[in-house]
Amino acid sequence: MRLLALPALLVASLFSVSAFAQEKETLNYNLINVQAEATRQVSNDEMHAVLYIEKSNKQPAELASQITQLMNQAMATAKKYPNVKVDTGSQTTYPVYDDSNQKLKEWRGRADIQIESTDFKAASQFISELQQSFQTQSISFTVSDAQRKKVENELMIEASKNFQQRAQLLTQAWNKSSYNLVNLNLNTNNYIPQPFTRASFAKMEMAAADAGGQNVSGGESKISVNANGTIQFQ
C-alpha cells in the first residue's frame, strides 16, 4: 500500500501543476495595455493671498504691542467681508545687531495674514484696505476643492469611455470578437496654483477701487484624469 501511495501522490501533484500552468497561460495570453485620458481647462475660482507686516523697535514690548494692534485692526476689518476667510499666520520677533555683530541695534518683528476666498471682488477690496499697513507677499489662484472634485468625477466617466473606445478599436484591429477587462487604474493629476504677477495685481487694485466693480480673472487650471489598464482579447 505504501508503494502505491507515492505514485498516486506524484500523479496528483503533476495534475495540479499542469492545471496551474494552464490557468497562468490563459491569464497571460492575448493581453494588451491600454491608456486613455480626459482633460479640461477649468476656471480658477478660489483666491489665496498672504500679506505681512514688518516693524522695528528698540523696545521688544513696544514692538509686540505695535504688531498686535495692527493685526487686531486687520481682523476687525475682515469682519466687513464675511465671504473672505482670514487666518493669522506666523509671527516672529528677533534681535538685529550692528555691523560688528556685537551690539544690539534693535528688535524686528514680522506677522502675516492668510486670505482665502471665492469672492474675488471682496477679497481684492479687503487686500487693498490692508495695504495701508501690510505688504503683499503672494497671491495665487486655484480651483476650489468642491469644483475640483466635481470636475474630476465627470472626467473619470469621460476617461473610462475613452478607454473603452480604444479597447474596442484595438479589438477590431486585431480581428478579435471581444475583450475582457483585466484591470483598470484611474489617476488624477496635480495641478499647480496660478501665481499672480505684480502687473496683474495692479489691475486687481484698480478693479477693487472701481465703483462699477470689475470682475477679477484668476486664470485657468488644467485638470486631467488618466485611465490605464489591461484587457484580454477573446
Instruction: Return the closest-CA partner of residue 143 out of 84, 193, 189.
Output: 193
Q: Where do runs of H (alpha helix) occur along 108-193?
A: 120-130, 145-173
Euclidean distance between CA atoms 31 and 175, whole angstroms: 14
Burial string for 77-105 (b: 16+ CB within 10 Å, else e) reads: ebeebeebebeeeeeeeeeeeeeeeeeee
Please report where in the chains the cell 479597447 appears, as a residue.
Answer: 167
Strands (E), the chain: 31-43, 46-57, 85-97, 104-117, 135-142, 179-188, 194-195, 220-233
> Domain limits of the chain?
30-45+143-193+217-234, 46-142
Give pTM, 2 decimals: 0.72
Specify the amino acid at residue 28: N
Report the pLDDT value the prediction gives residue 29, as an integer from 0 to 100.
83
Q: CB of 157 within 8 A of CB of 196?
A: no
Q: CB of 84 within 8 A of CB of 114?
A: no
Residue 157 neighbours by CB distance under 10 Å: 12
Strand partners, 86: 115
Low-confidence ranges of the chain (pLDDT < 50): 1-6, 8-17, 19-21, 208, 211-214
CATH class label, 30-45+143-193+217-234: alpha beta
Q: CB of 86 within 8 A of CB of 78?
A: yes
Report the pLDDT value the prediction gives residue 174, as an integer from 0 to 100.
95
Report the pLDDT value the prediction gives residue 48, as an integer from 0 to 100.
95
CATH number for the segment(s) 46-142: 3.30.70.360
